[in-house]
Amino acid sequence: MAVKFFGQYLIERGVLTAEKLLAALEDQRGRNRRFGSYALQLGYLRPADVQRIQQQQRSVDARFGEVAVQLGLLTPEQVEEILLRQRQDHIMLGELLVERGDISPEVLARELAAFKDDQAPWSTGELLLPADVRDQTVARAMLELPVRLFARTTGEQVKVGEAQWAEHAPQASFAVHVPFRGTQSLAFGIACDTTAAELLTRGLLGDEALLEDAEVIADAVREFANVAAGSILARLAQLGRGYDIQPPVDGMPSLEGGRLLVVAPLSAAGDVRFVVRGL
């Protein structure tokens, strides 16, 4: 139910060995060329420009092409052209595994269908974000995914709703956050009541007996935050944003002079709020 990576899904299912996956990933890395390599080949950038863009990327959370345009080194049209070429040449992992003889086309079709089904989002309505959220893509990943995961874990219908800025962290019986390390100091948090915490525990651990232990319920909320953060991390990586997560911390994230973006989805599964700091 979490955001997964197809290669990991295949080894977890026992369809592929870890050795074969590693070899295929290495092959894929060699064959799928990076943006900068196309720009060099087309004569749009010099090696020194590539270095300058990469250096800038260490302090700015943006993709190579975006930075190149900001620095006036590429035009938006050139970025589009390179992205198109990159997409046309890109070899997907599944396709490569078939080409290498690691899996048959039939197995690929079957596993891909199962994977897509596993990754299909539940219908939870649309997340509305305030217009002044700087990075709407990151905000969407950090708030939409946890709501979907919450719906799947509790088995309840949940409607996302509207995210709002808050000057204070929400108060709740259970509150946990996960710091994200990267170019920005982001944090994702969950605050919920006992009903939601118990539903999460039941959904995650699948064992009624565990509900009698208050410490296990608090720990299950921490684990949910960890799992949600892992899915956010995977989505951010897919978007080309390199972050890392730290272990869950009890309580809401500190405001650090800023505001929190909060969404309070409508749900029969108790009261739950998801918050993000650093956007």
Partner 1 sequence: MSKRKVLIVDDSLAVARQLRAILEATHDFEVIGHARNGIEAVKMYRSDKPDIVLMDIVMPEMDGLQATRTICALDAEAKIIVISSAAGVSDKVTEALRLGARNIISKPFEAGTILSVLRAL
Binding site residues, partner 1, CB under 8 A: 1-5, 7-9, 11-12, 14, 18, 21-22, 25, 153, 201, 204-207, 210, 215-216, 219-220, 222-223, 226-231, 233-235, 237, 245-247
Closer of 119 and 254 to partner 1 (Cβ)? 119
Contact (CB, 8 A) for 242 and 180: no
Report the nearest approach of partner 1 to the CB of residue 26 (Å): 9
- Burial label for 84, CB within 10 Å (0-12, 13-18, 19+), is exposed
Closer of 45 and 178 to partner 1 (Cβ)? 178
Closer of 3 and 139 to partner 1 (Cβ)? 3
Report the nearest approach of partner 1 to the CB of residue 14 (Å): 6
Report the nearest approach of partner 1 to the CB of residue 116 (Å): 14
Terminal CA-CA length for the chain = 26
- φ and ψ at 171, to 5 degrees? -95, 140
Contact (CB, 8 A) for 136 and 129: yes
Report the nearest approach of partner 1 to the CB of residue 49 (Å): 26
Closer of 44 and 174 to partner 1 (Cβ)? 174
Closer of 41 and 246 to partner 1 (Cβ)? 246
Outline where the chain has alpha helix (H). 6-12, 18-31, 35-41, 47-57, 64-70, 76-89, 93-99, 105-119, 136-154, 194-205, 214-238
Tokens of 234: 């995977």
Report the nearest approach of partner 1 to the CB of residue 148 (Å): 13
Measured distance CA(242)–CA(219) in Å, rounded:
27
